[in-house]
A and B are shown apart, each in its own frame.
Chain A
Amino acid sequence: MRTVRRPYIHPMSHYPNSGNWGGLCIEPADRDSTSLVTDASWTTIAGGTAHPKSADVGLLYADNWSEHRNWATDVLPQCQTHRRGRVASTWAAAAFAVSTSSADFSLIQNRTDPSEAWYGFSSGTSCRAVDLTESSTLLLARFATPSEISKELSVMVARSQFDDFEFGVESRFERTFSEFLRRYGVVAQDASVRWIAANADKNSPVAVRMVLVLGGEREGVSSEGRYHLLTWLLQSSSAAVRDAAARTLFRVPDPRVREALKTAAEQESNSRVKRFISQLADRITADL
């Protein structure tokens, strides 16, 4: 049962000493409603900026929405103490970006349905209280990736041709890709998954390294999120990507991994990958 769904840029800028704060916020349709308690879904997840040197990211949450009516006195202080941290709330969450620049974005993801996320770009140096669905000054796209971020990823991939993907050594691509994910959060993840889906067959070495980084332990990404991402990548058209997804999934601490690997092994058409995935599933069974 969900009665939330009113994302907007929260009017933080007029709060004293708050700087140019702004953020995307999911609120209950009816502020007096306690439906968020039963919804228990909105969390995290990312705020970002295209100018990390002049901005920072804050994460803001309210453990009990009904107790946090006053954003200025109740919520804003928490925001400042949760920079670059993971949101622990299960009831309500918002991500805020603070910036002296333009083109910042905020993003909120639905924990129980990770495919659902909302994000917004603010076009000014301070944010206004605008309903994103109505604003012409904001770019809001649901399930779409901002072109700037996709373009940055494309440039990164193009530069990877000069990289040595050397065994046992972190490549320049992996370093820059990790930083890219850290900076843009779920939006970057979305762009990367799209790139893998479109290019894995043509450039599996880069796709494999993306999978290993995407599915590996990352700040702000839960085991749940990794599990969903990697099980999805197990469906890739590239056998090398499926293999990379399986061995990364193998290291996700989730009780469903063994079953997911067994199923993947059964469905695998490539004999080598099938054996490798079976090896992983058997290993988990043996360790139980």
Chain B
Amino acid sequence: MTLYFRRIEPEYWLDDPPAWLDPDDVEGRQISDLSYRMKTNTISVYALPDAGASTLTRVCAAMVATRQRVEDITYFVFDDALLQRASVQIDKTVGATGDPAVDEWHRDLVRIAGTSLVRLARELRNCDALRTLKEDIESELVFALGTEKRYPHPPQIAAHLRKKALI
């Protein structure tokens, strides 16, 4: 069984379903979160070697490394059974975070159509959401940049960490 990681915007998934929503349906904004800036009918996920805290933090740190600031990251962790229920296929594609290991874990959910998007959102809606706090992500980044020299090129976030005198 493989576990997958998908980052979400918590405000689209945390509120209780609105009264007008059919129980079998999903909110439009949840679809929007999954398909944010979708250009190639794919959804980016990470196949996790394990669901331990260090692996999750490493993925989060890699995602933040390409950004301007560190934030808490909220995400779903789900298994292949969920993808099967949603009838979604998966392809291995290399990620672009700058962390070679995390990039290796990158996958694309492919051939995403309207119905598969709704099915996927419906399945994910019932998943447990998890969160890694930005303090842990910062520590991981400091470790990755300072001790491990994990990123071959200085990530964008390095400027933020320098500003906070963390590196």
Contact = CB atoms under 8 A, between A and B. Distances in A.
A179 B131 CA distance: 29
A276 interface: yes
Contact of B15 (A168, A170, A201, A283): A201
A168 B72 contact: no
B133 A283 contact: yes
Contact of A240 (B7, B10, B157): B10
B143 interface: no
A243 B133 contact: no
A280 B131 CA distance: 10
Contact of B69 (A169, A239, A247): A169
Contact of A272 (B29, B129, B157): B129
A250 B128 CA distance: 22
Q: Is the interface of A mostly helix, strand, loop or mixed?
A: helix
Chain B interface, >50% SS class: loop
A196 B123 CA distance: 30
Q: Which of A169, A204, A272 has the most CB of B within 10 A?
A: A272
Interface string A247-288: 100100000000000000000001011011001100100000
B68 to A, nearest CB: 5
Interface string A171-207: 0000000000000000000000000000001001101
A97 to B, nearest CB: 32
Nearest to B66: A168
Given A239-B16, A270-B16, A168 B69 contact: yes
A217 B130 CA distance: 25
Contact of A276 (B7, B11, B29, B131): B131
Contacts of A283: 133
B144 to A, nearest CB: 16
A208 B11 contact: yes
Interface in B63-101: 63-64, 66-73
A204 B131 contact: no
B71 A204 contact: no
Contact of B68 (A169, A207, A275): A169
Contact of A243 (B14, B16, B29, B70): B14
B9 interface: yes
B62 to A, nearest CB: 12
A63 B61 CA distance: 48
B67 A240 contact: no
A28 B7 CA distance: 56
A238 interface: yes
Interface in A231-246: 238-240, 243-244
Nearest to B65: A168
A168 B68 contact: yes
Given A167-B71, A169-B68, 11 more contacts: A167-B9, A167-B73, A168-B157, A169-B67, A205-B9, A205-B11, A239-B16, A247-B133, A272-B14, A272-B129, A283-B133
21 contacts: A165-B9, A167-B9, A167-B71, A168-B63, A168-B68, A168-B71, A170-B68, A201-B15, A201-B18, A204-B11, A205-B9, A208-B11, A239-B14, A239-B16, A240-B11, A272-B13, A272-B14, A272-B128, A272-B129, A275-B128, A276-B131
6 tightest Cβ-Cβ pairs between the two chains A and B? A168-B67, A240-B11, A240-B14, A208-B11, A204-B11, A239-B14
